[in-house]
Structure 1
Amino acid sequence: MEQEEQPAELVAEPTRRRRPSTIGGAVYLVVLATAGVGLSIVTRGNWRLGVKWMAASLVVAALVRLALPASEAGMLAVRRRFLDVALLAAVGVALWFLSTSIPNQPLP
């Protein structure tokens, strides 16, 4: 089957959309990059510092999710606002606590 050509006035130009399209989406990408930095620090041997980077990125994500309206939260909005904030903050605080409270292990 051949496609029929449409008149030029009916062919819509695709609208250029900026990526990410919300502030929350941009913050999400920054949080993702920061967590990646933390993971790379962990793989280089300083696990405490790497986990603290990841914890800090999650706490920042929680604060931004709390501050932004749902229409601007973008990819930070998964559930209801306070559930998102509680989960992000709880995991961030737990990671920070564990990275500072786990005692050093003797090397074999």
Structure 2
Amino acid sequence: MLHLPRETEQLARLMAVRSGRKPEDVIRVALEREAQALGVVPVQSPLPVGMEKVNAITRRAANRPLLDPRSASEILDEAWSDASRRLHPHGCRDVALTPLTGRQSF
């Protein structure tokens, strides 16, 4: 059993009142966070996702109708042609984005 200093116990009680938990739970959660930060215990995912759920989401997405009948290359060509027509932030019209790098060329 640990004997906590009065200030530590008082802080735990204040946090417990504010959070609606027991002081022991407040201390445990704080210790768990510190242990994870220091690498003493592994960080656990707050919401474990099973493969069944991932597969269900994938099936649902794959079964949705295709909203754009164009091919992927047609969509990309249009996107890049729009990007090359964008104005320079200062309003210059002689600036174009190069399709491969996205960098501005003058």
Query: What TM-score does the superposition give when structure 2 sets the normalisation length?
Result: 0.22
- Ranked by relative contact order (alpha carbons within 8 Å, sequence separation 6 or more), the top structure is 1
Q: Which structure's CA Rg is the greater one?
A: 2
Structure with more helix by fraction: 1
Query: What TM-score does the superposition give when structure 1 sets the normalisation length?
Result: 0.22
